[in-house]
Structures are given as C-alpha cells and as structure tokens.
Structure 1
C-alpha cells in the first residue's frame, strides 16, 4: 500500500513577513528615511511622466525642524534626483541646506498646506496628463470604481486663480479649500495630494491620476454606472486611510530602488 502524501503544515501567521512603516530611533534616522523615500517618489513621478519643464514638487516635513521641508531642486529632472540633491527650505521658501534654488512659485502652495495641516508630512503636486484633463473640466472624481472610492467625499475642487501661484494669500486659499481632505483638484492646473508619509502622498497622487484617466475614458465611452453611497463610504473606510496607501505603495518603492539604486546616494 502506497503512503498517502501528507498535507503541508501551514506556517504560523506570526512567522510571515509583512512590511509596516518603520519606527526610528532618532530624528537623524527618520530624516535619512524621509529623504530616501522622497527621492524614490520623485524618480517614480519622472518615470510616470508627471513633470513638465521645471514644474512639479513633492515636499516632506523635516522630523526635527518641523517648520522646514525637504524638496526637489529647481530645474533638476525627477529622474536624476538623489537623496543628496534635496533641499531643506523654510516656510518662507529660503534654502537652509542644499546647493540649488527652489521653485518659489510652486513652493508657496506647499508651504501653505504644510502650515495649515500640522498632521501632513508630505505634499505632492505635479503635472500629470489625466489629472490636468480632469481639472480642465472642473469636475470632482466620481465613485465609479473601487479604487476611486478612497477619495469619496475626501477631496475637493478649487476653482480660484488658474495661473502661477506666487501670492501667499492664494496659497492660503488653496490650503483652505483642501481643508481636512487628502486631495484637491486645482481647476485648470491638476492634482494635489497629502499624506502622513511620502509614500502615502505619492500613492494618493498616482492612484488619483489613474482614477482621472478611468473617469475620462469611461465618460468618453458611455455613461458610467456609479457605486451607491453606502458602498462607496464603506469602501473608503477600507481603502482610504494613509496606512493602506503606504502598504499599496511598497511594490513601487521596491521596484524603483532595485532598478535605480543610485537614488539612495
């Protein structure tokens, strides 16, 4: 009689690896971590085509000097940026660490959002094609897919000045329009997202851009069927927090750091 193969024993769940946001022993360690994540996010934005000329920024609050923010240098392609290229800039837009200029016009928006939202660690605003197309319509995202429900009643449309923002009052108006939301559609300009980490802010921007693409494509093809209010709210509760965004972002981070490890230098 042939022995029957035994069913493999399951590995205990506490022995399985599951990546979560790390805890840091010192501000120095957390600063290095945030700068590495910022450089990686900028590389990804470059890979996805979210830049045009000198436009586009991601900023991250310094863990020790919380009224200062790390940002990409003016005029440097996203695809070339390393951690050592990043600038530390104060709320007035003055460079306090680094060797390059900062885009003052764009930084007004970021500084205003950071000041209005102490809970926000990172802000992303850049030039994605579908985000700008949706912004040109002045329309919000609609709950027509599971992924977009993360933004259901958690984003707004700002219809103020559509030119280059150089005025602090305009920056404060944008921050006020964002309010407590995770995202804002700037009419005729594009998308802005925030998060409690670089990873979360970057993920919200990437998935919001994709949601804009889906909405534009669906409406060009016919009449989308919306998800009902209750289901949209429940889906947002499941998918719409920054921890879920951080987890979703990790495959992208692993991909870019393995493909382009020089960004960590």
Structure 2
C-alpha cells in the first residue's frame, strides 16, 4: 500500500471517529436539554396544583434510545424533581441509569403510549382539578362556551371506559389506541393525558386544557345558562390557534422556564 493510500484511509478513519464522537455529544446534549425541560414541567405542575402527591408522571423518550424513557423515581414529589434525579428506564421497567424505580401504573401507561404512538416522544399524565372534574360528569364533553375551549374543538380524544388502576400493560395499550392521533385525551373518572414531540408541546396542551375546563366549570358553577359558540366559528378559531401554535409553544415554555430560573433555579441542576 502506498503512503498516499494509507494516509487517505487514516484520514477517513479520523473522519468516521470524529463523526461518531459528534453524534454522541449531540445525543448527550439533547438528553440534557430534555431533562431540564422535563424537570421544569414537574415544577410548574406543582406550582399550578395539578399534582397528586407522589403519583402522576411526566416522561420523555431518550434521544438515540427509543426503547428507553426518562421518568421521576417513585416516591418523589414533583416539587423535588431536578434534571439530574430523573431516572432512565427501559420498556420493561428496568432502571438503566439513576437511583430509584418507576411506579407500576406509570410504567404500563407511559411505556405503552411511547411504543404504540411514534408522535408521543413526551407523555404527561396528571389529575388536575378542573379537567378531572369534567371527566367525572355523565356528560363529560368540553362545551364550546369560551374562547379557551375553541382550541380543542373536535380535537380531544375521550376515553369513556374507566379501566381501574393501570396495573397491566394491556390497559396502557388500550389507552394508546383511544388516544390515536390526538394530542389530548380525557380519561373518564380519572384525569388527562397530553402527548407531543417535545415537553413544550405537551405542556402547552396540558396548560390549555386545564384552563379551558376551568372556564367551563366557572360557567356551570354560576348556575346561569351559557351560550354555545357555533361550530363553524369554533372550527375557524381552532385553525387560527393552530397557525400560531409553534410560536406560542416555544415562547410560552421559555417564559415559564425563565420564571423558574429566577425562583427555583435548582430544577435545572
């Protein structure tokens, strides 16, 4: 082999090694950012009184490892979550990194949704007061009586079959099938799940659905007859919301994180 060819091969090897190292660095950086965002979502949920003690869970798949996801270790409150104490588990619930283990129902709900729905990189499942109130009604459909509701016109999946505690994977797969191509699902007598390609997307849906349900609750609680917005106007407004969605998601989550940076900076540690 000539010295020239040897040099070419060595150079190609250097390029491959450099490319591999860059890919690894990129994945590490991506996971770090997801950890920070997911920790922020936990802290914000606690601030907004959406939490249920040590239960309810927010998860995100690990970049480069679609068979693993980040989740809070069982036993911690959402107010205690930081970027570094989130654990990584596989779809069988085995802890891959970090200290602690995943709670059983969280494993079966979140693993099934991550596996079954490619669009669900992030899955947020909670029992916030106003959305959960609506899920407990005989007529559990969100009515189009306020602008906040219009964002969800014909855009909510309703799971009308309460299946008990999700102590087996079949229940998680059933939930995933009900969710389908929607990003928001209301579970009868239970709570709400939102999914998205990012923490910011799923969190925006969670914030918006709870706000919409709160406005609807206040109208019902007034005892007064409410006016319903016409379907054609509701659909038109929903599409307007969608046109502004990407910017809203990006800017609003960044704003929430700035608030945490000022008041609870340890979330990112």
TM-score, normalised to structure 1's length?
A: 0.86
Equivalent residue, structure 2, for 1:46: 46
C-alpha deviation, 1:162, in angstroms: 4.2
Equivalent residue, structure 2, for 1:188: 189
The 10-residue stretch of structure 1 (70-79 or 246-255) with the greater mean CA deviation from structure 2: 246-255
2:263 corresponds to 1:259 = yes
C-alpha deviation, 1:122, in angstroms: 0.6
Give the secondary structure class of the aligned counterpart of 2:151: helix
Assess, with a 3 A threshold, how the Cα gap between structure 1 residues 68 and 58 changes in structure 2: closer, same or farther.
same
In the alignment, the residues of structure 2 paired with residue 228 and residue 147 of structure 1 have an alpha-carbon distance, to the nearest angstrom, of 14
2:167 corresponds to 1:166 = yes
Equivalent residue, structure 1, for 2:145: 144
2:253 corresponds to 1:249 = yes
C-alpha deviation, 1:220, in angstroms: 2.2
Which of 1 and 2 has greater Rg?
A: 2
| Contact preservation (8 Å) 1:59, 1:124 | yes
Counterpart pick for 2:233 among 221, 227, 231: 231
RMSD: 1.6
Give the secondary structure class of the aligned counterpart of 2:175: helix
Give the secondary structure class of the aligned counterpart of 2:154: coil
C-alpha deviation, 1:41, in angstroms: 0.5
In the alignment, the residues of structure 2 paired with residue 30 and residue 198 of structure 1 have an alpha-carbon distance, to the nearest angstrom, of 12
Instruction: Give the helix-richer structure, 1 or 2.
Output: 2
In the alignment, the residues of structure 1 paired with residue 89 and residue 251 of structure 2 have an alpha-carbon distance, to the nearest angstrom, of 28
4+ runs deviating over 6 angstroms: none
In the alignment, the residues of structure 1 paired with residue 219 and residue 241 of structure 2 have an alpha-carbon distance, to the nearest angstrom, of 22
Q: How does 1:1-265 map to 2 (within 5 A)?
A: 26-138=26-138, 139-221=140-222, 222-240=224-242, 243=246, 244-265=248-269
| Contact preservation (8 Å) 2:148, 2:215 | no
In the alignment, the residues of structure 2 paired with residue 263 and residue 200 of structure 1 have an alpha-carbon distance, to the nearest angstrom, of 19
What's the CA shift string for 1:51-70, capped at 9, x where partnerless? 22221111111111012111
Assess, with a 3 A threshold, how the Cα gap between structure 1 residues 181 and 120 changes in structure 2: closer, same or farther.
same
The 10-residue stretch of structure 1 (174-183 or 51-60) with the greater mean CA deviation from structure 2: 51-60
- Unpaired runs of 5+ residues, structure 2, are 1-24
What's the CA shift string for 1:197-229, capped at 9, x where partnerless? 101111211221121111111122222222221
C-alpha deviation, 1:107, in angstroms: 2.2
C-alpha deviation, 1:95, in angstroms: 1.3
Number of residue equivalences: 241
C-alpha deviation, 1:130, in angstroms: 1.2
- Unpaired runs of 5+ residues, structure 1, are 1-24
What's the CA shift string for 1:55-100, capped at 9, x where partnerless? 1111111111012111111111111111110011111222111101
The 10-residue stretch of structure 1 (236-245 or 78-87) with the greater mean CA deviation from structure 2: 236-245
TM-score, normalised to structure 2's length?
A: 0.84
Give the secondary structure class of the aligned counterpart of 2:60: strand
| Contact preservation (8 Å) 1:40, 1:256 | yes
